[in-house]
Structure 1
Amino acid sequence: MYQRILVPVDDSDTSRQALLEATRFCCDQHGKTRLVHVIDLAQFTWGGAEFVDVGELQSTLRSAGRKVLDGAAALMQENGIEAETALIEIWGGAISSALIEDAKTWPADIIVMGSHGWTGLDHLLLGSVAEGVVRHAPVPVLIIPIKRKK
């Protein structure tokens, strides 16, 4: 039985579907749940940064990240699950690496996350955080695919 469930969240339909599945999974486990959201603060430090207030943009990223976490925690609470939240800040690099590091540090027993299911050129250009996590995670990973509307 998994006692420590790590759930990466963002502001996408895919993430919401994974969160709902994690809610059902968590209800049966009676363990601890940690919701994490990763922001990349380095994305504004090069290329055009002289035209914007980088500090203000980074503050906006933090606020948006906290809003995502608050919404996810509220959804969990509606389902009777108290979850801790963590906003992870990176300065470049792979989001999947930040999630894997958090899974080790916390330490998680399982990671439950969504996948957009991109293929072909979209996958090549956009990559896959879920794929990166699955390849290098120190614990099992439950991937929830997006339910596409017909």
Structure 2
Amino acid sequence: MYTRILVPVDHSDTSAAALAEAIRLANEQHAIVRLVHVIDLAQFAWSANEFLDVPQLQSSLRESGEKLLTERVQQVQEGGISVESELLEIWGGQIARTLVDDAVKWKAHLLVMGTHGYGGLTHMLLGSVAEGVMRHTHIPVLLVKATESK
């Protein structure tokens, strides 16, 4: 039984689809949901920092992440589900490893996350956080792909 479900969230359609599935599962399993959003504070620090206000950009990342988490927490609460959230900050680390470490620390029973399902050259160039999570965890992972609307 999956009573502790961890869901990484971002602004993508695949993340929204994963959250919807996690809410459905949490209702069925009477589970608690943990929402996490990872920000990489190093992403602006090494390039053009003489032209950019790096601390301001990092602050904006935090504010955007907190706003996203607040919106997603409200969405989960509207489903009558217990929820907690955390903004995870990294400094040039691997997002997948950060998610796995948090899932282990929180003792998650299941990770539910979105995937774009890219293949070929796009996958090779962009990589996949979902694939990295799968490679580094023993916790079951449910990958959800957003449906395309036409």
TM-score range, shorter chain: over 0.9
AA in 2 matched with 1:45: A
Alpha-carbon offset, residue 93 of structure 1: 2.0
Report SS of the residue matched to 2:43: helix
Which residue of structure 2 aligns with residue 145 of structure 1?
145
CA–CA distance in 1 between the matches of 2:122 and 2:93? 20
Deviations, residues 32-56 of structure 1 (Å, cap 9, x unaligned): 2100000000011101011111111
Q: Distance in 2 between matches of 1:99 and 1:138?
A: 13
Q: Check conservation: 2:38, 2:87, Cα contact below 8 A.
A: yes
RMSD over aligned CA atoms reads: 1.0
Q: TM-score, normalised by structure 1?
A: 0.96
Compute the displacement of 1:70 (Å).
1.1
Residue 13 of structure 2 aligns with which residue? 13
AA partner of residue 25 (structure 2)? F
Kept in 1, the 8 Å contact 2:31–2:82? The answer is: no
Q: How far did residue 60 of structure 1 move?
A: 0.1
Residue pair 1:100, 1:138 contacting (<8 A) in 2 also? no
Percent identity over the alignment is: 56
**Local SS of the residue matching 1:49:** coil
**TM-score if structure 2 supplies the norm length?**
0.96
1:1-150 mapped onto 2 (5 Å cutoff): 1-150=1-150
Q: Aligned equivalents of 2:146 and 2:120: distance in 1?
A: 17
- Structure 1's consecutive aligned runs of 4 or more residues displaced over 4 angstroms after TM superposition are none
Give the deviation of 1:149 after TM superposition. 2.4
3-state secondary structure, aligned to 2:133: helix
Secondary structure in structure 1 of the residue aligned to 2:10: coil
- In structure 2, how many angstroms separate the alpha carbons of the residues matched to 1:95 and 1:28? 29
SS in 1 for 2:50: helix
Q: What SS does structure 2 have at the residue aligned with 1:123? A: helix
Cα distance in 1, alignment partners of residues 120 and 93 from structure 2: 23
Q: Is the 8 A contact 1:73 1:82 kept in 2?
A: no
> What are structure 2's unaligned runs of at least 5 residues?
none
Question: Where do 5+ consecutive residues of structure 1 fail to align?
Answer: none
